[in-house]
Structure 1
Amino acid sequence: MDQNQLDILWSEREIRAVLQRYCRGLDRLDEELVKSAYHEDAYDDRGVIRGNAHDFVKQIVPILRDTYTGTLHTLHGSTIEVDGDRAGVETYCTAYHYRESDGIKRVEQFAGRYIDRFELREGVWKIARRVVLNDFSLAQEVPLDPAEAQAGFNPSRRDATDVSYQVLPLSGPDAPTV
């Protein structure tokens, strides 16, 4: 394997880490973590919301906090084409949003794709432009009381008190490098 192939493999690894960080930040309602996936001047296009990605993050995290009891963003396959300091990336994703409205418990599911242009700037890969495509969405009433379904499991938290922050510090000397 030559150096160019190793560079591509490392770039793919870093890009996947950015995608994971984005999802983790949304589910933990961590604005700084979500913003860390985007360059400062990144553009995000979701159809109904278009504009600076950091402005989008400032809008979406309070909406997720105030509207939903919980969210779970999952990533599936990614196709990554690295070309120097740019990369085209298509990632399949599913997002689940749980909420109670008017006494009805619902799960809203989004299935789609993130179409990203990543750029390597100052040695760091981040999203420069994102378009989110909706392949399908659905909403369902939750027939089982979630407390019954979760009996015996450790609870998840939607902030920095989540146990994941004990093993994944975000700043300071123990923070993972990107």
Structure 2
Amino acid sequence: MDQLDTLWSEREIRAVLQRYCRGLDRLDEELAASAYHEDAHDDRGVIRGNAHDFIKQIVPVLRDAYTGTLHTLHGTTIEIDGDAAGVETYCTAYHYRESDGTKRVEQYAGRYVDRFERRDGAWKIARRLVLIDWSLVQEVPLDPAEAQAGFNPSRRDRSDASYQVLPLQGPDAPTL
């Protein structure tokens, strides 16, 4: 593998990781699932099995149980060997919910430990192990509507403003 192929592969792998997070936060099942090969395995400890089945299960949970989520990626280590790559990505997920009249933010910090494979020229996740390093639940003392007053609102579906500029290619590409 030459240096240009290595750099391009690393870029594609990072794009897959971002697409997964964006798909979860926008409750876009198709986008989140596009990060995985059809036969991919996902292991979160409490949930193990086909990754596409996991996406079909988790998106409705995120929609129904939480008012908002934010998945962020931090340092990523990528080691490529031909058409396979070992990838470790530090991540933090924030989940906002209200229950019993109390507003809470749940924070999960951990790592995605992935085996990526390039099949038919496309890098996607073949196996994922999710490791939790720590978690924290905090009550939110300020009314979120007050804190967000005057800001542009985010949407948790395809009406979100980001869909006006993404994707930039293909039949669904917006006209800028």
Q: Which residue of 2 aligns with 1:120?
A: 118
Residue aligning to 2:94:
96
Per-residue CA shift, 1:13-72, capped at 9, x if unaligned?
000000000000000000000100000000000000000000000000000000000000
The alpha-carbon deviation at position 148 of structure 1 amounts to 1.5
**CA RMSD across the alignment:** 1.5
* Aligned residue number for residue 31 of structure 2: 33
The structure 2 residue matched to 1:9, chosen from 7, 10, 13, is: 7
Q: What code does the residue aligned with 1:50 have?
A: R
Residue equivalent to 2:59? 61
Please give the residue correspondences for 1:29-178 in structure 2 after superposition, counting only pairs within 5 Å. Answer: 29-169=27-167, 172-173=170-171, 175=173
After alignment, is 122-131 or 138-147 more displaced? Answer: 138-147
Question: How many angstroms apart in 2 are the aligned matches of 1:102 and 1:93?
Answer: 29
Corresponding pairs, count: 174
Runs of 4+ deviating beyond 4 Å? none
Residue aligned with 1:143, SS: coil
Scaled by the length of structure 1, what TM-score is found?
0.95
Aligned pair in 2 of structure 1 residues 102, 171: CA closer, same or farther (>3 Å)? Answer: farther
TM-score normalised by length of structure 2: 0.96
Superposed displacement of residue 175, structure 1: 4.3
**Equivalent pairs: percent with the same residue?**
85
Alignment partners' CA distance in 1, 2:109 and 2:95: 12
Q: Deviations over 1:74-123 (max 9, x none)?
A: 00010000110000000000000000000000000000000000000000
Following TM superposition, by how much is the alpha carbon of 1:147 offset from its aligned partner in structure 2, in angstroms?
1.2
